[in-house]
Amino acid sequence: MEELNVQNVIIGKQFESCENYMEFIKIAKQRNIKVHVVEAGKRVNMEKDIYFDILWPSSNNMINENILNNNSLVCKIVYRNFSILFTGDIEEIAERAILEKYQNTNVLKSTILKVAHHGSKSSSVKEFLNAVKPRIALIGVGKKNNFGHPNLKVLKRLERMWK
């Protein structure tokens, strides 16, 4: 934000303040960047036929355990019959809360899944993956990272989905 021409930022509702968030707000104010705070139920229209549905976080169901990760912004971008589910750093507890919130709907079903929390062992439970039913799963992770991401069990769960 300090080096690029940013006009708008969309950020999930924050339930805990931290130094990074305060610095983010300070920079946004200094550079006159409009900050849009969103939570579950909001739709952000980008242009004709392209929109983001915000699925999480939810003020009605804020998670206190690992508050920053489990209240990460989860959104689904939709373009006609194509969609991508972005899951932030949510963990199993948030995945299960999201499953409960959207049970008996196809809201989570997506063409592509950005796998939660870098493929960590604390995320990507079988039930969540089955609800999303992605054709492609992407994991953002650094080579030889110190966290052991992605977790082998998560990779196996993904692999079993496509067999």
Number of domains present in the structure of the chain: 2
**31-to-17, 22, 23, 27, 34 alpha-carbon distances in Å:** 21, 14, 12, 6, 9
Question: Residue 23's domain spans which residues?
Answer: 1-38
Q: Verify that 101 and 29 share a domain, yes or no.
A: no
| pLDDT tens-digit series, residues 33-60 | 999 999 999 999 999 999 999 999 999 9
| Domain co-membership, 32 together with 89 | no
pLDDT score recorded for residue 151: 83
pLDDT of residue 100: 96
Helix (H) or strand (E) run with residue 30 in it: helix 19-30
Query: Cβ neighbours of residue 7 under 8 Å, at least 6 residues apart?
Result: 33, 34
pLDDT of res. 16: 78
Confidence of residue 20 (pLDDT cuts 50, 70, 90): confident
pLDDT digits (tens, 9 = 90+) for 67-91: 889 999 999 999 999 999 999 999 9
Q: What is the CATH number of the domain that holds 55?
A: 3.60.15.10
Q: What is the pLDDT of residue 2?
A: 85
In angstroms, the CA 33 to CA 141 distance is 29
54: its two tokens: 């915000």
Residue 99's pLDDT is: 97
pLDDT single digits (tens) 86-141: 999 999 999 999 999 999 999 999 999 999 988 888 899 999 999 999 999 999 98
DSSP states of 66-83: THHHHT--EEEEEETTEE
